[in-house]
Amino acid sequence: MRKVTFGGAPSLDGYFARKDDAVDWLMWSKEAATIMSDYWKTIDTIVMGRKTYEAGLKMSKGKDNLYSGMKTYVFSRTLKPHKQGNLEVVSGDAVQFMKRLKKADGKDICVMGGGDLARSLFDAGLIDEIGFNIHPVLLGSGIPLFHEMKRQINLELLECKRFQNGCVYVSYRVKPTKVRRSRK
Amino acid sequence: MRKVTFGGAPSLDGYFARKDDAVDWLMWSKEAATIMSDYWKTIDTIVMGRKTYEAGLKMSKGKDNLYSGMKTYVFSRTLKPHKQGNLEVVSGDAVQFMKRLKKADGKDICVMGGGDLARSLFDAGLIDEIGFNIHPVLLGSGIPLFHEMKRQINLELLECKRFQNGCVYVSYRVKPTKVRRSRK
């Protein structure tokens, strides 16, 4: 089974973008770049919700091959399903799609941005790890990293690194739970 | 001026209690106890909102001297103002009260629990530090640590410690901002 990681760079108050999708507050660091570069080698697929995709497009000024070399799936109830290069817009049930994707051949999978998509995948027990680069800022408002979920998810801390710029990188393994097993 | 610290033990998804106020998921550790014990020596005053106070009462089964030895102020719009031992229920404007409290003689001050109270104090520029013991769990729902605020608060990371039980302790200094200065 391919490992699915929910990754992001949130503010300490749990937003991964401002209300207008802006991420101007993100801090670059060599330490984060090294972690990302190592992680990038372990994946070949990125999945995200429509909002995260459109925010990315806005940031890159419409350039469509945002995550070059990566197979990218965008889940959407409103966009028309289509394929374009490595990008595929999927309109069906994200959970069923991800179940198939996890079983398919390939490298690992990254879930980006959107708390909406992550919520469904957490609830369905499809996320294996979490990796956050927590930024030293309270944005005050924005697009939340987490939405309410139906159940508690227990985690095991894997890594905790303090970066020179004041960011804190944490990664966790999602522990299997009784609830999860009984729902299968 | 007395230093005001917003302290708590949140889940990774930003809740400090379940919806029914339960904190059964909190993990004890010698490392956290040592930090708390050292911190406890630097303060003589605790402030909190009514909800946090009532949750504490519920947990302690009605014992009223919850934080023994500490002067405790509870801000409430509904409870009748009164004093009882070290406890004082305050009905007026929390921000004005805290401004006076910061200038008064005494050791430092701890803001506990309630995101509601913390929001007003952050917005008024009255919080100097943050100290969180981030627990390795996604509660899924609960009482949020942060509520929407009017402005961004920039932070400087002071400490980052990984505990053996998988908790991560982080502390931050609140950076003064232009917005804050211009509002004074």
Domain boundaries, chain A: 4-183
Q: Would you state the CATH architecture of domain B4-183?
A: 3-Layer(aba) Sandwich (3.40)
Give the percent of chain B with pLDDT over 70: 91
Q: What angle do CA A78, A100, A35 make, to 5 degrees?
A: 85
Mean pLDDT value across residues A58-87 = 82
Asked if B147 has any chain A CB less than 8 Å from its own CB, the reply is: no
Where is mean pLDDT largest: A52-56, B156-160, B178-182?
B156-160
User: Which residue of chain A has the CA closest to B171?
Assistant: A136
Candidate ranges A44-53, A73-82, B162-171; pick with highest mean pLDDT:
B162-171
Task: Look at the pTM and tell me if it is higher than 0.90.
Answer: yes
Report ipTM (2 d.p.). 0.92
- The whole-chain average pLDDT of chain B stands at 90
pLDDT 10s digits, B29-49: 999 999 999 999 999 999 999
Average pLDDT of the residues of chain A: 90
Closest to B132 measured CA to CA, from B151, B108, B157: B157
Tell me the one-letter amino acid at A96. Answer: Q
DSSP character at residue B81: P
- Residue A184, pLDDT above cutoff 50: no
Q: How many CB contacts within 8 angstroms connect chain A with chain B?
A: 93
Question: What pLDDT was estimated at residue A60?
Answer: 74
Residue B28, CB-side half-sphere exposure with 13 Å CA sphere:
2
H or E stretch covering A128: none
Q: Which residues of A touch B147 (CB under 8 A)?
A: none
Contact (CB<8Å) A154/B172: no
Query: What pLDDT, on the 0 to 100 scale, is given for residue B56?
Result: 81
Give me the mean pLDDT over the A142-151 stretch: 93
Give residue B58's pLDDT. Answer: 78
Residue B182's pLDDT band (cuts 50, 70, 90): very low
- Other beta carbons within 10 angstroms of residue B123's beta carbon come to 18
pLDDT of residue A54 exceeding 90, the answer is no
Among B135, B152, B172, the residue to mutate for chain A (most A Cβ within 10 A) = B152
d(CA A69, CA B70): 59
Q: Does A152 score more than 80 pLDDT?
A: yes
Q: Which element (helix H / strand E) includes A182?
A: helix A178-183
Handedness of CA A124, A14, A173, B131 (dihedral sign): negative
- To test the contact with chain B by mutation, choose from A120, A129, A160, A164 the residue with the greatest count of B C-beta atoms within 10 A, namely A160
- A87-146 pLDDT, tens digit per residue, is 999 998 999 999 999 999 999 999 997 678 999 999 999 999 999 999 999 999 999 999
CA dihedral sign of residues A104, A109, A112, A116: positive
Q: Which residue, chain included where needed, has tokens 């053996």?
A: B164
| pLDDT value for B63 | 61
SS3 A68: coil
pLDDT over 70, % of chain A:
91
